[in-house]
Structures are given as C-alpha cells and as structure tokens.
Amino acid sequence: MRESLKNKQLRMQRIITTLYETYPNSKCSLEHRSPFQLLISTMLSAQCTDDRVNKVTPDLFKHYPTAQSMASAPVEHLAELVRSTGFFNSKSKNMSACAQTLMQEHQGEVPADLDALVKLPGVGRKTANVVLGTGFHIPGLVVDTHVIRIANLLRMTNQKDAVKIEVELQPIIEKEHWVMFTHLIIDHGRAVCIARRPQCHDCVLAEFCPSVLPEEAINRKK
C-alpha cells in the first residue's frame, strides 16, 4: 500500500531527529573560505572524494583564491593543480570559464541565486544547491549519490533522477532541515549504510527503514 505524504513526513521527522543525535558534528566536508572557493571545490568533487579535493585545494587557492585571480590563470596550470581529482582537463576549463563569467557578469562575486548559478559553466543544480545552502545559508536540497541511494532505501522516493528526487523530498522534509539533511545522510552513508555492505544490524534508522534486511533486523533485536 502506498504511504501517504503525512506518514512520510512523520517518519522523516523521526529519521532526521535520530540522525542529528547520531551525527551532532555533521557539516559540509569541503574546506573553503568563501562562496567562490566552495563553488570551485564542489565542481572538483564530481567523480572524486571530498578528501581528495581537500588535499588539492590548499595549493590551488594559494595561487588562485578569488574569481579575479582564477579568471586570468593559465588553464594548463589549473589542470596541473587539480590533476589528481580526475577529469582534470574538463574541470580546469570549466573553472576558468566559470571564473571569467563571474568577472564579466557578477563583478567577481558568486550569485546567491539558483537560476544564476546554474548558468555558470560547469555548474549544475547539485553544485548550485551546495553553494546556496552552505555558502549563503539559503535552504536547498542537495541530491548526491548517497541521498539518491538512501532516500530510495527509505522508500521516500522510487526515482533515480536527482532533480525528480529533489522535488519529491521537498514537501517531505521541513525546509529548515534541507541543508543539513544531505550532510547527515552523507555521514550515515559513509559510516553505516555503505553501498556495497550496509550495516543494517548497527543502523539507527533500522526501525524506520522498509529496506532493512530481515536477518539483520533479527540480529539487532538480540
């Protein structure tokens, strides 16, 4: 039987409360000192771990800390600095083009607007929502691979498309929790609900999760 929106909202409230208690220090793991640096770091995180990005960005931002400095940087040097993040040629070109667009159209400042952000080279909806939520404290739901997978396991959605999932989750999650929800889910996905080996027997969300493995649920009660 299909679960009502009201029941999903109530179940989600309990899920979020539990996650806050379990991961009280949850936050964006990308290190940055400005919305611009967060924007670039998020672009670099595509197909790459946040840990790897954090190892690359100190040297990158030492050379090019602002849109103005990056806009005039040789693309070859940008590529060299971000090589270990993968897809470095396309990432360096996007970083350069993005910085130049910021200088030409936004006086070197990152716009605090979703529509303006997604028009920047190399910036999709996910990156834009990261910048809005963490950089400007404007509510936005970031749907990354952890959110796609765990939202499906929790039966909050049966969609696989990130934008469709974002739209479906918005009425389920209270707006004040939109930004933190993603950070909490990422922490839980890394620690317990691991893609290839979910630890259902140690999962604090087991009682709220329709996908918990029966044998794991039995072990949890022992």
Catalytic residues: 126, 144
∠215-221-222 over CA atoms, to 5°?
A: 95
Give the side-chain half-sphere CA count within 13 A for 106: 20
3-state helix, strand, coil in the chain (%, to 5): 65, 0, 35
Q: What is the DSSP string of 72-94?
A: TS-HHHHHHHTGGGS-HHHHHHH
How far is residue 105's CA from residue 126's CA, in Å, rounded to a whole number?
A: 21
Residues sharing a CB contact under 8 Å with residue 204, sequence separation 6 or more, in sequence order: 18, 19, 21, 22, 192
* CA 6 centroid distance within chain: 26
DSSP H or E run through 10: helix 5-22
8 A C-beta contact, residue 192 and residue 199: yes
